[in-house]
Amino acid sequence: MDSKMRKTVIMAVIIALLAIVAAVVFANLNTIQKRLNRITRGENPQAEAVAKTATESDLSAFTQDETFFDPLDNQYDALENKGQRLDIMVTSVEKDLRIKIVNVLGEPVMGQNFYVNVNDTPYEDQDRDGMIYIDHMEAGEYYVSMEPMEGYTIPNTKVKVAVKNQVDYKVIDDISYLVKTEDEINVELEDTEQDVDAEDVDGSELTEAVHTDESTFGIDVSKWNKDIDWVKVKEAGVDFAIIRCGYRGASTGSLVEDPYFARNIQGAAEAGVQIGLYFFTQAVNEVEAVEEASTAIMLCDNYNLNYPIFIDTEGAGGSGRADTLDKDTRTRVCEAFCQTIESAGYTGGVYASKNWYNRNLDASQLERYVLWLAEYKAAPTYEGEYQIWQYSSKGAIDGIEGHVDLNISLLNK
């Protein structure tokens, strides 16, 4: 290689290296500026000489500061900001306020006793769960603001909210913070759903699948059925499954997700089994019914339902918080649940046994919804209208260990 060619090659290499350096600097301008700002504030005096050199003459001097291009730097700052910047979410169902303190991801911020002002009246998050609930409020407009909290950036504006005089049968968008897992409760005290009334069982029930041209055959399942092989269930001729998504605790009233719900709805959907849901209620008023319906809607998000979402109204061992409700209140609870379900675009329904319908509900007020009747006899004797009949609790289906409830549906035919 002659000297002229050698000079040309060397010059090309130098130009290429300078281009690479310039590209790196340009790609990291934000990081460099951030470092320089910190230096200006005196946060990194050790890097002052390096930064001065980098900005005045030598574009490669930044490489002497080993912290300049920390790839996690921006991520750490973002996470820090997410934890520090707060927002307020406020809703009202009926003469109440639900105030949730959240981070930028919408997650409740726990572990701090935040203070808020509602029309200049102070309230404290005493249990530090990121939620303040205020009941027995007069209907009207209120303004909610946060008190300053060291270490956090809070909204500098007030949130306007209308407290409703009557229950609004609309889904509560931020219900997730109320929903617990079974790891957070005493299951023996809370999940005490009882079997169908003994008077609705006479020993003549069928225990095999029933297929007719006028109906479809299905099952209903919950955590009590444990792990299910949904492919085998489908192959056994099951057309639909009504899956328990959750329940309200019989003792504390906690909203709880059925621990097998997610795997059941996913398995059924993948196997091609049509899906409906039920929620075991222990609501004592319409507001709690709206909460239960909102929980069901939240849990079934991203899934297509072919059957209704039912409120399962039964006893809870005699000492359940809703066991002593009068007929009118229980009926209004069922109506509130179904109306909330329908406000979200789904079909609402009510599940009960024959005697429960007759004794504890005004079924004439519920006829606009799908009625799911439980009566374990060779033929139902209930005199009212119904669309689904649960005819056995002792069925045997391939893919399910032990007994399973069997149903005949007049829907979807």
Closest CA to 405 of 188, 198, 199, 209: 209
- State percent of the chain over pLDDT 70: 80
pLDDT(39) > 50: no
User: Do the beta carbons of residue 355 and residue 375 sit within 8 Å?
Assistant: no
Find tokens 């359940």 and name the residue.
Answer: 320
Region 148-172 average pLDDT: 90
pLDDT(130) > 70: yes
Contacts of 267 (CB under 8 A, 6+ apart): 228, 230
Local confidence band at 40 (pLDDT 50, 70, 90 cut-offs):
very low
CATH class of 79-163: mainly beta
Q: What is the 3-state secondary structure (H, E, C) of 316-329?
A: CCCCCCCCCCCHHH
pLDDT in tens, 206-218: 999 999 999 999 9
Local confidence band at 412 (pLDDT 50, 70, 90 cut-offs):
confident
The least confident of 155-159, 241-245, 269-273 is 155-159
User: Do the beta carbons of residue 388 and residue 374 sit within 8 Å?
Assistant: no
> What pLDDT was estimated at residue 104?
84
> What pLDDT was estimated at residue 57?
44
Q: Where are the domains of the chain?
A: 3-70, 79-163, 175-409
Local confidence band at 105 (pLDDT 50, 70, 90 cut-offs):
confident
Give the pairing of strands 388-395 and 370-374: parallel
The least confident of 81-95, 130-144, 285-299 is 81-95
> What pLDDT was estimated at residue 28?
53
Distance CA 194, CA 2 (A): 97
| AA letter at 197 | D
pLDDT in tens, 140-154: 999 999 999 888 998
User: Do the beta carbons of residue 387 and residue 366 sit within 8 Å?
Assistant: no
User: Do the beta carbons of residue 68 and residue 61 sit within 8 Å?
Assistant: no
pLDDT(36) > 50: no
pLDDT in tens, 11-29: 665 676 666 656 555 555 5
Long-range contacts of 377-386 (CB under 8 A, 24+ apart): 377/200, 377/201, 377/202, 377/204, 377/205, 378/204, 378/205, 378/206, 380/354, 381/354, 382/354, 382/357, 382/358, 384/357
Cα of first residue to Cα of last residue in the chain, in angstroms, is 87
CATH fold group of domain 175-409? TIM Barrel (3.20.20)
Helix-then-strand count for the chain, H and E: 10, 17
User: Do the beta carbons of residue 96 and residue 135 sit within 8 Å?
Assistant: yes
What is each CA distance from 83 to 78, 98, 108, 385, in whole angstroms? Answer: 9, 21, 10, 54
The model's pTM:
0.76
Local confidence band at 37 (pLDDT 50, 70, 90 cut-offs):
very low
- Count how many residues are written for the chain: 413
